[in-house]
């Protein structure tokens, strides 16, 4: 199994500011995924963070709003830029646990409240 | 239409009850199916994969009907510790294809 550490675990942010969430994995992984879970909603994939290349964003998410870094095979960051109350959400880092992709591990999540 | 649809519940059942959750998916190209469990204010964790022939893990039984694009989860002899939100998850296409999550079905088991 993979152990994933996310920081911060929670934060209250002022609108208009930006916050960077860090994700550290205890083993090398090819792909890391960033999800958002808004209150009462399902998890939605924001982007796939690839080491050595730009992240791949899903429809509705753009790099200017959610810049991602992936400097090595065990670490990634997601920045939520120019935050508004609509960005209040849980942000989850995720990795695939094996080559089959059938086991997905999540970090404990970063709970952001924008006021 | 959403990729994955679930009855959000909540389901409130007494200990020992049997409860069933249903899920439908819209894309017939979906290849892999899972149930995840998410406790309040925690990250989702894999409960079980769902295989075409159906599969059982202790008190939990998962079924897949590809023709109807329908997945189910049956929990027998419910325990207080089963209280959580159960997420239906579908993978489209290849092994590392994108995952689609349902909104989850909330279950509360009361003593």
How does pLDDT run across B26-69, given as a tens digit for each residue?
988 888 899 999 998 889 999 999 988 889 999 999 999 999 99
pLDDT of A87-100, one tens digit each?
A: 999 999 999 866 66
- Is some CB atom of chain A closer than 8 A to the CB atom of B43? yes
Residue A25 is predicted with a pLDDT of 95
Q: Check A111 against B41: CB less than 8 A apart.
A: yes
Rounded to whole angstroms, what are the CA distances from A10 to A107, B54, B73? Answer: 13, 39, 32
Encode pLDDT of A41-55 as tens digits.
889 999 999 888 889
- CA B111, CA A11: separation in Å to the nearest integer? 35
Short-list A80, A95, A89, A81, CA closest to A111 = A89
Is residue B103 a contact partner of residue A42, using CB atoms and an 8 Å limit? yes
Which residues on B lie below 8 Å from A31 (Cβ)? 96
Put simply, whether A63 touches B (Cβ < 8 Å) is: no
């Amino acid at each position: 199994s993979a152990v994933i550490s996310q920081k911060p675990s929670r934060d209250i942010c002022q609108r208009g500011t930006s916050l960077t969430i860090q994700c550290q994995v205890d083993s090398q992984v090819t792909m890391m995924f960033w999800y958002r879970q808004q209150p009462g909603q399902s998890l939605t994939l924001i982007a796939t963070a690839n080491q050595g290349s730009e992240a791949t964003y899903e429809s509705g998410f753009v790099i200017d709003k959610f810049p991602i870094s992936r400097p090595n095979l065990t670490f990634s960051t997601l920045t939520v830029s120019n935050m508004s109350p609509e960005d209040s959400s849980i942000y989850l880092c995720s990795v695939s646990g094996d080559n089959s992709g059938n086991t997905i591990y999540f970090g404990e999540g970063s709970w952001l409240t924008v006021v | 239409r959403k990729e994955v649809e679930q009855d959000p519940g909540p389901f409130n059942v007494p200990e020992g009850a049997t409860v069933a959750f249903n899920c439908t998916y819209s894309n017939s190209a979906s290849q892999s199916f899972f149930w995840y469990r998410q406790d309040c204010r925690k990250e989702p964790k894999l409960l079980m994969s769902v295989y075409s022939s159906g599969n059982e893990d202790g008190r939990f039984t998962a079924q897949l009907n590809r023709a109807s694009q329908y997945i189910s989860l049956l929990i027998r002899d419910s325990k207080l510790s089963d209280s959580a939100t159960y997420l239906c998850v579908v993978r489209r296409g290849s092994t590392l294809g994108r995952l689609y999550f349902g909104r989850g079905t909330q279950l509360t088991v009361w003593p």
